[in-house]
């Protein structure tokens, strides 16, 4: 695959940002959250049931691992409550590629992948494309790094 200079610079910037984020904060929460809301307020169940990122509703929420998880429907909320490990993204919703490389980074709801019935989120769609070049290897490295990258 041929990479443009712009894409390489964007990827390097994302990797640098992830490294900086880890270095600045001594300890990260177990779930990527903005203002206490997990995964940018998107419904984790919808990735599985609708094959798309769907914004959750503040009125349909559930507290899990110290963050508010939002859902588009009461049914999705019930499915999550019954089995949160099935629907919650891997690595607390932090960027799977960053975790594979020993860091943490925020994620973009549109940069998602489901592998073996597990949800993975990435920093952006360019980083997701890089992550997908070696999905199995990246998952293996991320699994080895998780949760130590939170320290």
Ranges of each domain in the chain: 5-150
pLDDT at 21: 46
Q: Residues of the chain whose pLDDT is less than 50? A: 1-3, 5-6, 8-9, 13, 17-25
pLDDT at position 127 is 98
pTM of the model: 0.84
Question: Which pLDDT score is estimated for 137?
Answer: 98
- What distance in Å separates the CA atoms of residue 23 and residue 99, rounded to the nearest whole number? 14
Residue 36's pLDDT is 95
Neighbours of 13 (CB within 10 A): 11
In the DSSP assignment, the letter for residue 66 is: T
The strands making up 57-64's β-sheet, listed across from edge to edge, are 33-34, 37-38, 67-71, 57-64
Q: Which are the contacts of 115, defined by CB distance < 8 A and separation ≥ 6?
A: 135, 139
Confidence at residue 100, expressed as pLDDT on a 0 to 100 scale: 98
The per-residue pLDDT for 11 is 53
Question: What per-residue confidence (pLDDT) applies to 102?
Answer: 98
């Amino acid at each position: 695959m041929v990479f443009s200079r712009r894409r390489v610079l964007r990827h390097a910037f994302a990797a640098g940002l992830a490294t900086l984020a880890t270095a600045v904060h001594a300890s990260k929460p177990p779930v990527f959250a903005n203002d206490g809301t997990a995964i940018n307020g998107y419904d984790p169940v919808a990735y599985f049931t609708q094959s798309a990122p769907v914004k959750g509703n503040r009125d349909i929420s559930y507290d899990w691992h110290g963050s508010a998880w939002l859902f588009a429907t009461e049914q999705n909320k019930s499915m999550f409550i019954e089995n949160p490990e099935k629907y919650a993204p891997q690595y607390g919703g932090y960027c799977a590629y960053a975790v594979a490389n020993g860091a943490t980074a925020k994620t973009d709801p549109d940069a998602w992948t489901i592998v073996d019935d597990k949800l993975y989120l990435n920093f952006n769609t360019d980083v997701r494309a890089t992550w997908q070049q070696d999905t199995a290897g990246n998952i293996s490295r991320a699994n080895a790094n998780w949760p130590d990258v939170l320290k």
